[in-house]
Chain A
Amino acid sequence: MGILRVSELKKDFSGLEVLVGVEFEVGQREKLAIIGPNGAGKTTLFNIISGKFPPTSGEVIFKGENINALPPHARARQGMARSFQITNLFQKLSVLDNVLAGVRSRRGMRHGMFHEPLRDHQLVAECETLLERVGLLDLRDTPVQELAYGQQRALELGVTLALEPELILLDEPTAGMSRQETEEATSMIKRVTESIACVIIEHDMNVVFSLADRIAVLHYGVILACGQPEEIRCDQRVKDAYLGEEES
Chain B
Amino acid sequence: MKTLRPRTLALVGGALLVLLAAPKLLPVYQLRLVTEAIIFALYAVSYNLLLGYAGLLSFGHAMFFGVGAFATAVALNHIAGLSLLSAMGLALLTTLLVGLTVGFLLLRVKGTPFSLLTLAFNALFLAIGVKWHTVTGGDDGLSLSAPKLHLGLGVLDPSNGPDIYYLTLVILGGALLFCWRFTRTAMGHSVLLLRENEERMRFLGYNTNVTRLILFVFTGVLAGLAGSFYTLLNAFVSLDAVSIDMTTKVLLMTYLGGTAAFLGPVLGAFFYTYVQDYLSNLTDNWPLIMGLIFIVMVLFAPGGLSGLGKDLAARLKRATTAD
Seen from chain A, the residues whose Cβ lies within 8 Å of a Cβ on chain B are 50, 71-73, 76-77, 81-82, 84, 88-93, 97, 100-102, 104-106, 109-119, 159, 162-163
Neighbour of A110 across the interface among B186, B192, B199, B218, CB < 8 A: B186
Cβ B197 vs Cβ A116 within 8 A: no
A110 partner residues in chain B, CB cutoff 8 A = 186-187, 190, 205-207, 210-211
| A93:B186 contact, CB within 8 angstroms | no
A109 touching B204, Cβ below 8 Å: no
Which listed residue, A81, A89, A102, A119, touches B197 by the CB 8 Å rule?
A: A89
Name A111's contact: one of B1, B181, B192, B211 (CB within 8 Å).
B211
B contact patch SS: helix
Choose from A73, A81, A82, A97 the contact partner of B189 (Cβ within 8 Å).
Answer: A97
Q: How many residues of B contact A (CB 8 A)?
A: 27
A73 partner residues in chain B, CB cutoff 8 A: 202-208
B201 an interface residue at 8 Å Cβ cutoff? yes
Contact B196 A90 (CB under 8 A): yes
Q: Which residues of B contact A119 (CB under 8 A)?
A: 1, 184
| Chain A CB within 8 A of B132 CB | no
Contact with A along B207-231 (1 / 0, CB 8 A): 1101100100010000000000000
Chain B positions near chain A (C-beta within 8 angstroms):
1, 181-182, 184-187, 189-190, 192-193, 196-197, 199-208, 210-211, 214, 218
Query: Closest approach, in angstroms, between the C-beta of A80 and any C-beta of chain B?
Result: 9
CA distance A109 to B210 in the complex (A): 13
Q: Which residue on A lies nearest to B182, using beta carbons?
A: A113
Chain B proximity of A152: nearest CB distance (Å): 13
Contact of A112 among B185, B196, B197, B210 (CB under 8 A): B185
State whether B200 touches A89 (Cβ < 8 A): yes
Contact assessment for A76 and B203 in the assembled complex, using a CB-CB cutoff below 8 Å: yes
Query: How many Å lie between the Cα of A71 and that of B210 in the bound state?
Result: 13
Q: In the complex, which residues of chain A have a beta carbon less than 8 angstroms from the beta carbon of B210?
A: 110-111
Least Cβ–Cβ distance between B182 and chain A, in angstroms: 6
Asked if A76 meets B197 with Cβ closer than 8 Å, knowing A111-B186, A113-B182, A116-B185, the reply is no
A102 touches B204 (CB 8 A): yes
Bound-complex Cα distance A108 to B197 (A)? 19
Q: How far is the CB of A25 from chain B (nearest CB, A)?
A: 23
Asked whether A116 lies within 8 Å of B184 as measured between CB atoms, the reply is yes
Nearest CB in chain A: distance from B234 CB, A: 31
Which of B1, B205, B206 has its CB near the most chain A CB atoms (within 10 A)?
Answer: B205
Cα of A159 to Cα of B193 in the assembled complex, Å: 13
What is the CB-to-nearest-CB distance from A118 to chain B, in angstroms, rounded to a whole number? 7
**Judging by beta carbons under 8 Å apart, are B205 and A117 in contact?**
no
Q: Do A106 and B199 have beta carbons less than 8 Å apart?
A: no
The CA-CA distance from A92 to B193 in the complex, in Å, is: 10
Given A110-B190, A110-B211, A111-B211, A91:B203 Cβ within 8 A? no
Closest to B200 in A: A88
Within 8 Å CB of B205, what residues of A?
A: 73, 76-77, 105-106, 110, 163
> Contact at B204–A117, with CB atoms within 8 Å?
no
Let me know if B186 and A72 touch, CB within 8 A: no
Check B185–A163 contact: CB distance below 8 A.
no
Chain A nearest CB from B187 CB (Å) reads 5
16 contacts between A and B (CB under 8 A): A71-B202, A76-B202, A76-B203, A90-B196, A93-B193, A101-B204, A104-B186, A105-B206, A110-B190, A112-B186, A116-B185, A116-B186, A117-B186, A117-B189, A162-B204, A163-B205
